[in-house]
Amino acid sequence: MRAVAAAVVALTAHAAVNARLLRTPVAGPVRARVSVLLPVRDEAPRVQACLRTLLDQGAHEVLVLDDGSTDGTAERVRALGVEPLPGRPLPPGWLGKPHACAQLAEAATGDVLVFVDADVELAPGAVAATVALLEQTGLDLVSPYPRQRAPGATRLVQPLLQWSWLTFLPLRLAEHGGPSLSAANGQLLAVRRTAYDRAGGHAAVRGEVVEDVALLRAVKRAGGSGGVVDGTALATCTMYGSWRELADGYAKSLHLVPLPALALLAVLYVAPPVAAARGSRAGAVAVAAGVLGRAVAARRTGSPVGDALAHPVSVAALLGLAARSHLLRARGGLAWKGRAL
């Protein structure tokens, strides 16, 4: 348990360093022509809130693609004065979101493509700040991570997204590192058109469930650079409104996490409280360090700091969701928005 405690302390220190180094986009002059691209499928309850914030960004164009919605999404888009592009039928070998994004990129005229998800609302100037960061840093792709709204029980797990890359990924090294050192979030992602085309666009990631990270990896394989940055002040996202939605959403991707990585999480963050309850001082140190690391991530990314106290329970819940995802995949039961994965 001493080795475990030492590892958790080191990871928490790493998270603190990353929190200081995390790039924060600020408003600046933008010379590039910018296309803001919104793929939607059955997003009627929230598409208007998202689209209103996109139309206020001052981008050269805002394009919406309706990917076969059946709930009135297209009508709600038209009510705001935007005519959605009709999505083409899904070809073999493609998943829905990469195909929708590829069609949007095909129609776009911008030098910078900014992809946004329908569960995101942008703050004024968010697109300009994001594109300015691209121009200031020379990076090819930046992904400002939005502040995550996590209602109800979802707050137990959702903040682990930001905690994970702050804890385990050397952010500045990762920007120019190999494809394996990649974190991105398609909720808000900006990429230079030249780098996008050189990487093969979304056609290069046509069958990827986690297409955002896969796109960054493709950009890097093509000689580009990029990574995740702070989007706390730029955007907010309500990814899931309930625990059931979260469980179904996580099911489509957690099976991609290798079992050894899940086992490591269990050893580092679930085993220590058990050891501490049995009187292990090293276990207590590991628990305290894990909670502190979660608090560092929460403070930096706008999540409730007090929720860090439940960090071991959060990781255990994540492991349970991962087990469900692996089981559903083994049974061929993975699906999302009416489409099999």
Which residue pairs from 94-98 have beta carbons closer than 8 angstroms and sit at least 24 positions apart in sequence? 94/206, 94/207, 95/206, 95/207, 95/208, 95/209, 95/211, 95/339, 95/341, 96/41, 96/67, 96/336, 96/337, 96/339, 97/39, 97/186, 97/211, 98/202, 98/203, 98/205, 98/206, 98/207, 98/208, 98/211
CA angle 279, 13, 3 (to 5 degrees): 40
pLDDT at 254 over 70: yes
Q: What's the rounded Cα separation, in Å, for the pair 44 and 71?
A: 6
pLDDT at 316: 97
Q: What's the rounded Cα separation, in Å, for the pair 90 and 340?
A: 12
Question: What's the pLDDT tens digit per position in 39-67?
Answer: 999 999 999 999 999 999 999 999 999 99
Instruction: Work out the mean pLDDT of the chain and round it to a whole number.
Output: 94
Instruction: Name the residue among 89, 192, 185 with its Cα closest to residue 131.
Output: 192
Question: What's the pLDDT tens digit per position in 205-239?
Answer: 999 999 999 999 999 999 999 999 999 999 999 99
Tell me, yes or no, if the pTM score tops 0.85. yes
pLDDT at 29 over 90: no
CA distances from 7 to 165, 285, 286, 296, 299 (A): 16, 11, 8, 17, 22
| Residue 45, number of CB atoms within 10 A of its CB | 14
Domains of the chain: 2-19+243-329 (no CATH), 23-237 (3.90.550.10)
| Residue 112, number of CB atoms within 10 A of its CB | 26
Region of poorest pLDDT, from 128-137, 251-260, 300-309: 251-260
Matching residue, tokens 């009416």: 338
Q: What's the rounded Cα separation, in Å, for the pair 220 and 198?
A: 10
Question: What's the pLDDT tens digit per position in 160-171?
Answer: 999 999 999 999
Q: Are 276 and 2 in contact (CB under 8 A)?
A: no
SS3 label, residue 167: helix
Q: Are 317 and 153 in contact (CB under 8 A)?
A: no
Q: Are 310 and 172 in contact (CB under 8 A)?
A: no
Question: What's the pLDDT tens digit per position in 72-114?
Answer: 999 999 999 999 999 999 999 999 999 999 999 999 999 999 9
pLDDT at 151 over 70: yes
Question: What's the pLDDT tens digit per position in 282-325?
Answer: 999 999 999 999 999 999 999 999 999 999 999 999 999 999 99
Q: What's the rounded Cα separation, in Å, for the pair 54 and 222?
A: 30
Amino acid of residue 337: K
